[in-house]
Amino acid sequence: MSDSRKQGSGRGRRDLTVRVKTAKGRKLSSTLWLQRQLNDPYVQRARAEGYRGRAAYKITEIDDKFGFLKPGARVVDLGHAPGGWSQVAVARVNALGERAGKPRGRVLGIDLQEVEPIPGAELHVLDFLEEGADGQIRDWLGGQADVVMSDMAAAASGHPRTDHMRITALVEAAIDLCEDVLVPGGTFVAKVLGGGADPSIVTRLNRLFAKVRHVKPPSSRSDSSEKFVVATGFRGGARAGEATEEVDC
């Protein structure tokens, strides 16, 4: 016989929130991080769906909005560890050739550390800041890329201005790479912090791309300062032409 009584807010209702006690020797900040991870629906969903992290849903939501991970696309994923973005890209560009009648794309993951293999992705250990890295990436691809994407963020220093400068430097370097490896009409996606990309970066992107926008996907935590800049319609390295106004969305 089923119990038809409603579960109210009193003591009869089970609290489904997982709470973690601070173990001896563990910092309170670590305990709070662990508790947040255990209760994060995106973390739980990632485990259930086989993704290597909740970040997979960020690129999924960004691509749902802008549609750049198309079958047949060649993608460079900078700082790809642990691999969630590459996993999404593999499926969407048909890198495994599992979607009959659709062109087969490629996903090239670049990181400073070795990462467990991802079916359909070609993973390489490389510092993309090193001289000659652009040429090495083109050699691996056998040509140019349709998409360059980056979820990179420098290790937090605890000093907001320093952190902003570090991630700005990474975005600038990724744009340099775009100028060498991205095809005309290509797309660039990168993580930024605070109110968005530095004004100098936005100005530069507006010269190089047809449209530049900021987006904070739903899966990005509300208490996180991260946003993503999405630049579409690469002009092929040409710096001529009118700059388009950057739009937040």
Provide the annotated active-site residues: 191
Strands lying side by side in the sheet with 106-111: 121-125, 106-111, 74-78, 145-150, 182-192, 227-234, 209-215, 247-248
223 is in an annotated binding site: no
127 is in an annotated binding site: yes
Token pair recorded at residue 210:
């047809």
Number of H helices, E strands in the chain: 7, 8
Give the whole-angstrom CA distance, residue 84 versus residue 52.
5
Half-sphere exposure (CA, 13 Å, Cβ side) for 236?
A: 3
DSSP-assigned states of every residue in 49-103: HT-SSTHHHHHHHHHHHH----TT-EEEEET-TT-HHHHHHHHHTTTT--STTS-
Instruction: DSSP letter for 243, please.
Output: P
195 is in an annotated binding site: no
Give the whole-angstrom CA distance, residue 29 versus residue 221.
17
111 is in an annotated binding site: yes
85 is in an annotated binding site: yes
Annotated binding site for S-adenosyl-L-methionine: 83, 85, 111, 127, 151
Annotated binding site: 83, 85, 111, 127, 151
